[in-house]
């Protein structure tokens, strides 16, 4: 048995001539309010109600903003205007904040990380070894050749503990 698949389900049916039911309700409601204003108020006061109400009812029935019905736009605007608003960050400029910005940093109070003496010696020695290895090939001078007064002794066994396994000719170059 074959079933007919519905098509065009997003399109509203035209019930009252060229108007859908929703459009008819908006236009009929606007016309009723305009008629009541005309009937029970003097003409010079009713004109201030008839024109905006007629325009609003026609906009509800026919006007679309970015392919969305005007009633959804009005609903979103009212929800925004009357709803709670969440502010994530508010800048407050107090006197204490300005005072903190104006405080100069004392260089003696700045904490600088310090290396221990043995780690510093290991680091400089490893840099000297790498520098001296590449200085023979590339023609660069090592730091000990430039500053012989700063030459350190490598006879201390504590400094060489992290370099176990290096060939002896690298250790004897110093």
98 is a domain residue: no
Mean pLDDT of 23-40: 95
The three-point CA angle 134-140-145 to 5° equals: 100
150 is a domain residue: yes
Residue 117 pLDDT exceeds 80: no
Which structure tokens are listed for 158? 């504590």
Domain extent for 162: 117-172
| Kind of pairing between the strands at 68-69 and 64-65 | antiparallel
Phi-psi region of 165 (alpha: psi -120 to 50; beta: other; left: phi over 0): left
Do residue 78 and residue 20 come from a single domain? yes
Mean pLDDT of 39-50: 93
4 is a domain residue: no
Mean pLDDT (the chain) is: 76
Q: Which of 19, 88, 108, 93 is nearest to 57 (CA)?
A: 19
Are the C-beta atoms of residues 26 and 60 closer than 8 Å to each other?
A: yes
Which of 56, 82, 108 corresponds to the end of one domain? 82
pLDDT digits (tens, 9 = 90+) for 127-174: 766 655 555 555 555 566 666 665 555 544 445 555 555 555 555 665
Give me the number of domains the chain comprises.
2
Which of 58, 82, 106 corresponds to the end of one domain? 82
Mean pLDDT of 21-28: 93
pLDDT digits (tens, 9 = 90+) for 66-84: 989 999 999 999 999 999 8
90 is a domain residue: no
**How confident is the model at residue 173, as a pLDDT?**
60
**How confident is the model at residue 124, as a pLDDT?**
76
Weakest-pLDDT range from 80-94, 106-120, 134-148: 134-148
Do residue 77 and residue 123 come from a single domain? no
How far apart, in whole angstroms, are the C-alpha atoms of residue 109 and residue 48?
73
106 is a domain residue: no
- pTM score above 0.85: no
43 is a domain residue: yes
Which of 82, 109, 140 corresponds to the end of one domain? 82
């Amino acid at each position: 048995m074959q079933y007919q698949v519905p098509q065009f389900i997003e399109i509203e049916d035209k019930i009252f001539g060229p108007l859908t039911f929703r459009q008819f309700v908006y236009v009929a409601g606007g016309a009723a309010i305009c008629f009541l204003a005309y009937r029970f108020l003097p003409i010079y006061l009713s004109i201030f109600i008839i024109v905006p109400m007629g325009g609003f009812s026609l906009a509800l029935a026919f006007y679309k903003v970015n392919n969305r019905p005007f009633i959804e736009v009005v609903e979103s605007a009212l929800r925004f205007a009357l709803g709670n608003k969440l502010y994530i960050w508010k800048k407050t400029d107090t006197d204490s904040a300005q005072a903190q910005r104006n405080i100069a940093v004392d260089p003696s109070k700045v904490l600088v990380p310090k290396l221990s003496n043995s780690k510093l010696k290991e680091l400089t020695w490893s840099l000297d070894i790498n520098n001296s290895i590449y200085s023979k090939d590339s023609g660069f001078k090592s730091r000990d050749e430039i500053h012989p007064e700063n030459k350190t002794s490598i006879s201390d066994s504590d400094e060489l503990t992290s370099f176990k396994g290096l060939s002896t000719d690298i250790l004897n170059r110093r």
